[in-house]
């Protein structure tokens, strides 16, 4: 069992779990720049580090994952860090009710057709948007009018095309981090009036 202590993030300790996406650069980009509202939803919570962090900031947090391993890992990490999370079994918004001030999603965003089981953690399909599109299709229905969505996107995909596909949102780049092979972006999305 690998336990990692993240002193920078409210002293959180996280168990890294087999077959669950562990905290990485995209995770920390979110945690470094989000300003969560009072009522937070994290979609695809993985180890739960982002949800635990938001809860330690005093927010009410609901999180979900389709993976049983991820939900169990998230629950253990919530207990380890003495926070209360509502952890749901849900594929994106399928079992989510109500609206939230802040919705957070670190999606599988790589444009790849990898088909083995663990690839679901990063496989975004041929254009990288296979999971992002259904998320954006429904996210605004669960977002308070004053709220926002935080989502990671990659330079390996056609972000401008995605923005054009979803005119119900205003996309604002919040932060970026560059590597030799790609740049990852944290976008903050706001719901346009009437949507």
Q: Which tens digit of pLDDT belongs to each residue from 55-94? A: 999 999 999 999 999 999 999 999 999 999 999 999 999 9
- Contacts of 32-36 with CB under 8 Å at 24 or more apart are 32/175, 33/150, 33/174, 33/175, 33/186, 34/102, 34/104, 34/150, 36/101, 36/102, 36/104
pLDDT at 1: 81
| Strands of 183-191's sheet in order across | 86-89, 60-65, 39-43, 100-105, 143-154, 183-191, 169-178
DSSP annotation of 93 reads: T
Statement: the pTM of the whole predicted model exceeds 0.85: yes
pLDDT in tens, 135-177: 999 999 999 999 999 999 999 999 999 999 999 999 999 999 9
Residue reference for tokens 């069992």: 1
Strand partners, 63: 42, 87
Residue 37 clears pLDDT 60, i.e. is over it: yes
Spatial contact of 14 and 33, defined as CB atoms under 8 Å apart: no
Domains in the chain with CATH codes? 2-191 (3.40.50.150)
Q: What is the per-residue pLDDT for 157?
A: 92
The count of other CB atoms within 10 Å of the CB of residue 86 is 12
Q: What percent of the chain has pLDDT over 70?
A: 91
Find out whether 174 and 194 touch, Cβ atoms under 8 Å: no
Q: Mean pLDDT over residues 180-195, rounded? A: 91
Q: What stretch of H or E contains 86?
A: strand 86-89
């Amino acid at each position: 069992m690998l336990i990692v202590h993240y002193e920078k993030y409210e002293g959180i300790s996280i168990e890294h779990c087999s077959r669950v996406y562990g905290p990485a650069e995209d995770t920390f980009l979110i945690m470094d720049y989000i300003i969560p509202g009072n009522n937070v939803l994290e979609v695809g919570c993985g180890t739960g580090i982002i949800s635990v962090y938001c809860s330690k900031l005093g927010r009410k947090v609901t999180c979900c994952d389709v993976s049983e391993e991820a939900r169990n890992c998230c629950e253990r990490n919530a207990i380890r860090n003495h926070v209360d999370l509502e952890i749901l079994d849900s594929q994106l918004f399928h079992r989510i009710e109500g609206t939230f001030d802040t919705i957070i999603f670190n999606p599988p965003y790589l444009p790849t057709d990898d088909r083995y089981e663990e690839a679901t953690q990063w496989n975004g399909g041929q254009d990288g948007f296979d999971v992002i599109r259904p998320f954006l299709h429904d996210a605004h229905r669960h977002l308070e009018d004053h709220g926002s969505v935080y989502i990671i996107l990659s330079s390996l995909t056609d972000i401008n095309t995605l923005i054009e596909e979803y005119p119900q949102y205003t996309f604002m780049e919040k932060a970026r981090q560059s590597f030799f092979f790609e740049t990852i972006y944290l976008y903050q999305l706001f719901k346009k009036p009437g949507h």
